[in-house]
Chains A and B, each alone.
Chain A
């Protein structure tokens, strides 16, 4: 089922949470809505589900205008951040709930068979008689998913699905959700503030800030060609160095970088720590080491440039550097953005 959002607006009291968002989601696609808190991503998800009404714009499911269809008739599966399992029902009863209240009448045997099938899909066979408070967080989230899938939703919506779980459980569930998605091919939209999760899981990432889409594209597109300083910063650690642009070149600390198409004046250079190297000799930006942090896969050097800017470098473990050393920061890759505002 294709989903199309056209210029969707949502205002809470006086606060505009979503400003005219338009988005196309292809059938069977797995799309992440990524953004910091307050970016409107959950509001968008809730509007797609019908849990919030739009204040403007339309939402289409396929060719049908779903904007005014009430949530119970919209045919979406929704997985809540804190699971929202019914605590007084067993796991099996939770999964069966949607089928029991459905207008389509099913026999008890049919429902039981479907519950078994779903519990197998989410790998929770044998836990049907437990109550939600007798199983772990990861298991609860899988019950929530099985419950959402039980009503054969046209669209699966997940709100920070792994937000409340341990890092290890989170990684496992992520891979597993990806597998389930490939198996069922259901159009899936999920919300996260964790860029790693979005990049790991999604076919396409939609990055939001302050109720607007800033950039959308495949993980490769948004990682390799971030279109703004915000995206660059949000997707991972980035150093910012102020630079001056003239004649299509950005200059910082005696180093020149390509900056075609930028107006003369001030600009910012953004550098990933991995794209920098530490060297005792020129060329590079002169700097002094202020701290070295050793990690399993390398060293992070914290340094201060001659201009007094703070930079962080991720370098190979063999790099020699001690606090107080003077040397040069060598730039392998950089992105230039005009100064904000």
Chain B
């Protein structure tokens, strides 16, 4: 361990980063868990399994899944187009992809609500078709998909850029059809990046608040997301209940990220098996 390193200051930088992570990430999460734990197990269970909370989990998770599925397909297509095609305005599109990150989510929520309201630009087109987006779960999905779009694009894009075009050419010379080349060569190579992007996108969708509350309608049992329920409990000064409900979100996100990490390692197993 006492091997000298080329770059100096490793111990110092290690100390500072760990301290920072502890202060900024672990401490608040610890406080949350601590607060939730101050409830007895029975009270905790009663709060997190109340019908209203259960309904909010259902809405949140289902909408997050739908939004993530949408981003998986659309985000991959967008990354593909940005990497493989040269068209006027490509750089502009490339920059716009990051906007959902930069825009305050409340602004995004208000903008989406205006667009999708009955008299909005999109809403007035969709209304005659019998599709209502604003104040329905569909609106939640739209808001989630909007705010988490960059994740898939930005994780897939560099992998696609690094992919040797000769791989596809080799598959072609071997007689592969476009579909089989995509399924057998391109998709497996993108899988680790897709998993990373999808898990981030899903985690972000679970926790999204600002963009959703403007468009969701926030009716308990139908369009009330878990983050909002937590906020309502906070406003009622019921900190313990708020912490309990939030802890469910936290655990879900953590388990999901851990699972995708394992999946990712499996998908990349060909990379790190040592040479023998």
List the interface of chain A (C-beta within 8 A of B): 49-51, 71-74, 76-78, 80, 82, 84-90, 97-98, 100-103, 131, 133-135, 144, 147-148, 150-151
Residues B174 and A147 in contact, CB atoms below 8 Å apart: yes
List the interface of chain B (C-beta within 8 A of A): 164, 166-167, 169-177, 180-181, 184-185, 188-189, 270-271, 273-276
B126 smallest CB distance to A (angstroms): 42
Known: A97-B184, A101-B184. A134 touches B173 (CB 8 A): no
Known: A101-B180, A133-B270, A133-B271. A84 touches B166 (CB 8 A): yes
- Beta-carbon nearest neighbor of B270 in chain A: A131
Residues on B with C-beta less than 8 A from A51 are: 169, 172-173
Residues A88 and B174 in contact, CB atoms below 8 Å apart: no
Residues B270 and A72 in contact, CB atoms below 8 Å apart: no
Residues on B with C-beta less than 8 A from A131 are: 270, 273
Residues on B with C-beta less than 8 A from A86 are: 167, 170-171, 185
A234 smallest CB distance to B (angstroms): 27
Which one of A89, A97, A101 lies within 8 Å of B177 (CB-CB)? A101
Known: A82-B164, A131-B270. A102 touches B175 (CB 8 A): yes
Residues on B with C-beta less than 8 A from A135 are: 275
CA gap between A102 and B276 in the complex, in Å? 33
Residues on A with C-beta less than 8 A from B177 are: 72, 101
CA gap between A173 and B100 in the complex, in Å? 54
B231 smallest CB distance to A (angstroms): 44
- Beta-carbon nearest neighbor of A86 in chain B: B185
Most B CB atoms within 10 A — which of A90, A100, A150?
A100
| The 7 nearest A-B residue pairs measured at CB | A98-B174, A84-B166, A78-B173, A84-B170, A131-B270, A101-B176, A101-B180
CA gap between A240 and B10 in the complex, in Å? 60
- Beta-carbon nearest neighbor of A80 in chain B: B166
Residues on A with C-beta less than 8 A from B171 are: 86, 97, 101
Which one of B169, B175, B270, B275 lies within 8 Å of A84 (CB-CB)? B169
CA gap between A86 and B181 in the complex, in Å? 11
Residues on B with C-beta less than 8 A from A103 are: 175
Which one of A85, A87, A148 lies within 8 Å of B173 (CB-CB)? A148
CA gap between A50 and B172 in the complex, in Å? 10
CA gap between A97 and B167 in the complex, in Å? 12
Residues A77 and B167 in contact, CB atoms below 8 Å apart: no
Residues A72 and B271 in contact, CB atoms below 8 Å apart: no
B83 smallest CB distance to A (angstroms): 18
- Beta-carbon nearest neighbor of B189 in chain A: A88
A188 smallest CB distance to B (angstroms): 15
Known: A88-B270, A97-B184, A98-B174. A78 touches B169 (CB 8 A): yes
Residues on A with C-beta less than 8 A from B174 are: 72, 97-98, 101, 147-148, 150-151
Residues on B with C-beta less than 8 A from A73 are: 175
Residues B270 and A71 in contact, CB atoms below 8 Å apart: no
- Beta-carbon nearest neighbor of B180 in chain A: A101
Which one of A78, A88, A100 lies within 8 Å of B170 (CB-CB)? A78
B267 smallest CB distance to A (angstroms): 8
Residues B173 and A49 in contact, CB atoms below 8 Å apart: yes
Which one of B169, B188, B273 lies within 8 Å of A134 (CB-CB)? B273
CA gap between A147 and B176 in the complex, in Å? 13
B187 smallest CB distance to A (angstroms): 10
- Beta-carbon nearest neighbor of B164 in chain A: A84
B63 smallest CB distance to A (angstroms): 33
A143 smallest CB distance to B (angstroms): 11
